[in-house]
Amino acid sequence: MSTTATRVIVTGEKPSRRSLFRRSRPEHVNRPGQRQRVVKETLAGYGFLIPWLVGFFGLTLIPMAYSLYLSFTKYNIFTPPQWIGFDNYIRMFTSDPAFVQSAQITLIYVLVGTPITLAAALGVAMLLNYRDKGAGFFRSAFYAPSLIGGSVSVAIVWRAMFANDGPVDNSLSAIGIDLGGWIGNPALVLPAMILLAIWQFGATMVIFLAGLKQIPKELYEAAEMDGAGPWHRFRAVTLPMLSPVIFFNLLLGLIGAFQVFSSAYIISNGTGGPAGMTNFITLYLYKRGFSDGQMGYAAAIAWVLLIVVAVIAFILFRTQRSWVHYAGDNR
């Protein structure tokens, strides 16, 4: 199911709910020697998959199971894990204000940053779609930040840009708004982080632009003939036709935003400050697990993150029937 939206974008093909994981039976099914062939094919399949299988079981599935186990223990890597049941999870929500704050600011970051990024990306994509000539240059220029946005270098630049007397502070002072430095200010450091996320709207924009190009011009012409103004055309044509792409970008954007780490680490020098306002969930997890040696507790935090991401993905997939419109579907 999870690939439906992606496939529409990637291959442009009409999604079919049955054929995603299942294929029609091979035609040699009733021929003599069929069993050997099946065995041979299966052996070949697993032969090609050896590296992936080792990675999937050795580095993903078994570690996941192990981290689930660790989340119910007290473990510091040096002494054997000690089973403590649900204590880690109870502690998180009842007696760890740092975790609660971490969860809150992460949610704010995700819920504010992702929609604004999507809106900015869609707005600029529509602007670029207006005219072909010259659009290629802007498309590339806007994409550059997405490529480097997660790097340490950019986080360092961001820290300087939003520091006291930095370029942002100075330009705002020049027009009479004196906010002081953003990075050291607990009220403004989260907005600065959100701006960093929005600054990387380019990748999302490029995907939107590809989607916009696929919308048949006739739909707009027909709408115009019916007397629809620009806003109505946007609501009646653009949004529904683009909904699979919006769905895809929303899903990837939300999941990606939950995992922000390096910029928060660099901007706060690994502390999550000021006043815990950049202590995103992944940074908190890192500090608990790798600085304080509370591996069991960190594993529990990771599982809460996993559950939240899974629930969000589940909700998005469940609600997509009501708002995601696939071409050729008459729902």
Partner 1 sequence: MSTTSFGEPAIATLENQVDATPQQPRRKVKRGTWQTVIWFVVLIAVTAVVLYPLVWLLFSTFKPNSEFGSNMGLLPNNPTIDNYAKVMEGIAGVPMWRFFLNSLIIAAGSVIGVLLSSSLAAYAFARIQFKGLGILFAAMIGTLLLPFHVVIIPQYIIFQRLDMIDTFIPLLLPKFLATEAFFVFLLVQFIRQMPRDMDEAARIDGAGHVRIFWSIILPLIKPALITCSIFAFIWAWNDFLGPLLYLTSPENYPLPIALRLYNDQTSVSDYGATVTASFIALIPVLLFFLVFQRFLVDGVATQGLKG
Q: Quick one: 166 or 274, whose CB is closer to partner 1? A: 166
Among the listed ranges 86-94, 97-105, 153-161, 223-231, the one in contact with partner 1 (CB under 8 A) is 153-161
- Which amino acid is present at 34? Q
* Residue 214, CB-side half-sphere exposure with 13 Å CA sphere: 21
311 is an interface residue for partner 1 by CB under 8 A: no
Q: Quick one: 52 or 231, whose CB is closer to partner 1? A: 52
Tokens linked to 15: 């999604």
Among the listed ranges 1-9, 83-91, 96-104, 111-119, the one in contact with partner 1 (CB under 8 A) is 1-9
146 is an interface residue for partner 1 by CB under 8 A: yes
SS3 of 259, please? coil
Helix (H) or strand (E) segment spanning residue 83: strand 82-83
Q: Which of residues 101-140 bind partner 1 (CB under 8 A)?
A: 124, 127-128, 130-131, 134, 136, 138-140
Helix ranges (DSSP H) in the chain? 4-11, 34-55, 62-70, 87-94, 97-129, 135-148, 152-161, 167-174, 189-199, 202-213, 217-225, 230-233, 239-258, 262-267, 281-286, 295-323
Q: Could you tell me which of 260, 262, 215 has the C-alpha nearest to residue 240? A: 215
- Rounded-to-integer distance, Cα 79 and Cα 64, Å: 21
275 is an interface residue for partner 1 by CB under 8 A: no
84 is an interface residue for partner 1 by CB under 8 A: no
Among the listed ranges 83-91, 98-106, 228-236, 308-316, the one in contact with partner 1 (CB under 8 A) is 308-316
151 is an interface residue for partner 1 by CB under 8 A: yes
Shortest gap between Cβ of 261 and partner 1 (angstroms)? 6
Q: Which of 194, 266, 277, 324 binds partner 1 (CB under 8 A)?
A: 266
257 is an interface residue for partner 1 by CB under 8 A: no
Q: Which of residues 182-211 bind partner 1 (CB under 8 A)?
A: 199-200, 202-204, 206-207, 209-210
Q: Quick one: 44 or 275, whose CB is closer to partner 1? A: 44
- Rounded-to-integer distance, Cα 201 and Cα 117, Å: 6
Among the listed ranges 98-106, 224-232, 271-279, 300-308, the one in contact with partner 1 (CB under 8 A) is 300-308
- Rounded-to-integer distance, Cα 190 and Cα 128, Å: 30
Q: Quick one: 45 or 227, whose CB is closer to partner 1? A: 45
- Rounded-to-integer distance, Cα 14 and Cα 265, Å: 43
Shortest gap between Cβ of 142 and partner 1 (angstroms)? 6
Among the listed ranges 18-26, 109-117, 182-190, 232-240, the one in contact with partner 1 (CB under 8 A) is 18-26
- Which amino acid is present at 277? M
7 and 247 Cβ atoms separated by less than 8 Å: no
229 is an interface residue for partner 1 by CB under 8 A: no
